[in-house]
Amino acid sequence: MSTNSTALQSSAVINEAVQTLRDGGLVAFPTETVYGLGADARNPDAIKKIFTAKGRPSHHPLIVHLSAPEKYDVAQIDWAALVSPWVRDLSEEALQIINAFWPGPLTLVFKKDKSVLNEITGGQDTVAIRAPAHPMAQELLRKFKGGVVAPSANCFGKVSPTSAADVRSEFVGMLDLMVLDGGDCEVGIESTIVDLSSANHALLLRPGAITPSEIFTKTGIKVSQTGENEANNSGTNIPRVSGSLRAHYAPTTPLRLYAPGRVLDALSEFPDIKSRVAVAVWDSDSSLGEDGHPSVYFEEVTVPSDSAAFASRLYRFLRDLDQQGWDLILFPEPPAGEEWDGVRDRLQRACFGSGPSSSNHASN
């Protein structure tokens, strides 16, 4: 009974969200990766509101979110028909990847249909598309019957939100922002992005829960991992992926990684720190014990040693620790291995952008 009334209630709220989108407003909604800040992908004025709310440069392109019609059998979805209003020349390989991974935490970049607004693509001739698996996102998109552009619902350069409360704390000034509450995000880091816009090769633009090996295992298609950083961090190209900026996903408390058993080395960069340091330790490891600097108070926070579980809670840890007034946050370096690439990428950028000084955010 209570489940039913919850479902009814959220349906009414979703209808209101659909109307808000139709009226050119913004709606924050849950996906399985992180919360998105959505707008009608065919309405340039609505899209502009996203850039203003986030403080995001207007040439950073957005992902179009699509959903299949209701009561589908996943194997029966005609994805080619669904993406056709957005994509030019859908290849057989692209369709194979789509059939294997959608709906899910995978964004694909295609050559765009000419009707796709420049406001979405930053003037590029490609468009990024994803079909989220979260039931509330699907219901919203199905009822809206169109594409919804949605970047992560955080201010530019900051940690992505993984709960409705996180979204509200990012946009405290926007009292009228509609936020759909779908609970905590399961995947916890943003979708994997693969560029399929070049005829010859698939290219990984952003690592995430779905790895190139998984794509290869399920489809036989090889996704190349190189090229991303050269193209995006050279300073000469348009940043096709804003998450590729060195400073991103960043807390305001300084954050550093430590190598196994090397907590004190990580501290040497901060000779003035005399007080409180939060140290994340693997749940599989024994505690740091006496490994503390005498003048420093360490508090240990246990983090999962399984990559998916770690990803699921990474932004929660960063946000919560950032609120607790530590002088420094230390995280263990993620181990080698492709399943850790998404987490390692986010942690490294978070370290680079962290700290109260805005100097590292100059490009943001």
Whether the ω angle into residue 260 lies within 30 degrees of 0, i.e. cis, is no
Contacts with ligand TXA, 204-223, as mask; x by CB under 6 A: -x------------------
> Residue 34 interacts with ligand TXA (CB under 6 A)?
yes
Among 33-41, 162-170, 267-275, 321-329, the segment contacting ligand TXA (CB under 6 A):
33-41
Cβ nearer to ligand TXA, comparing 152 with 354:
152
In the sheet with 178-179, reading across from the earlier edge strand, the strands are 178-179, 27-29, 36-40, 148-149, 63-65, 126-130, 106-111, 192-195, 202-206, 223-224
**277, 267 in Cβ contact below 8 A?**
yes
Characterize the bridge pairing of strands 126-130 and 36-40: unpaired
> Residue 364 interacts with ligand TXA (CB under 6 A)?
no
- The residue nearest Mg ion at its CB is 152
Residue 102: what residue type?
Answer: W
**155, 57 in Cβ contact below 8 A?**
no
> Residue 152 interacts with Mg ion (CB under 5 A)?
yes
> Residue 107 interacts with ligand TXA (CB under 6 A)?
yes
Nearest 5°: phi and psi at 258?
A: -120, 145
Among 53, 63, 133, 167, binds ligand TXA (CB under 6 A): 63
Among 59-67, 288-296, 298-306, 315-323, the segment contacting ligand TXA (CB under 6 A):
59-67
> Residue 150 interacts with ligand TXA (CB under 6 A)?
yes
Q: Which residues of 279-303 are buried (b: 16+ CB within 10 A; e: fewer)?
A: bbbbeeeeeeeeebeeebebeebeb
Among 117-125, 151-159, 168-176, 197-205, the segment contacting Mg ion (CB under 5 A):
151-159
Q: How far is CA 134 from the centre of its chain?
A: 14
Tokens at 253, concatenated: 């408390």
Among 147-155, 197-205, 217-225, 340-348, the segment contacting Mg ion (CB under 5 A):
147-155
Nearest Cα to 316, choosing from 168, 158, 163? Answer: 163
Cβ nearer to ligand TXA, comparing 41 with 150:
150
Cβ nearer to ligand TXA, comparing 62 with 303:
62
Characterize the bridge pairing of strands 126-130 and 63-65: parallel
Least Å from the CB of residue 267 to ligand TXA: 32
SS3 of 217, please? Answer: helix
Among 129-137, 144-152, 256-264, 297-305, the segment contacting Mg ion (CB under 5 A):
144-152
Residue linked to tokens 């420093």: 296
List of residues contacting ligand TXA (CB under 6 A): 31, 33-34, 36, 60-63, 107, 109, 121, 124, 126-128, 130, 132, 150-152, 190-191, 193, 205, 240-243
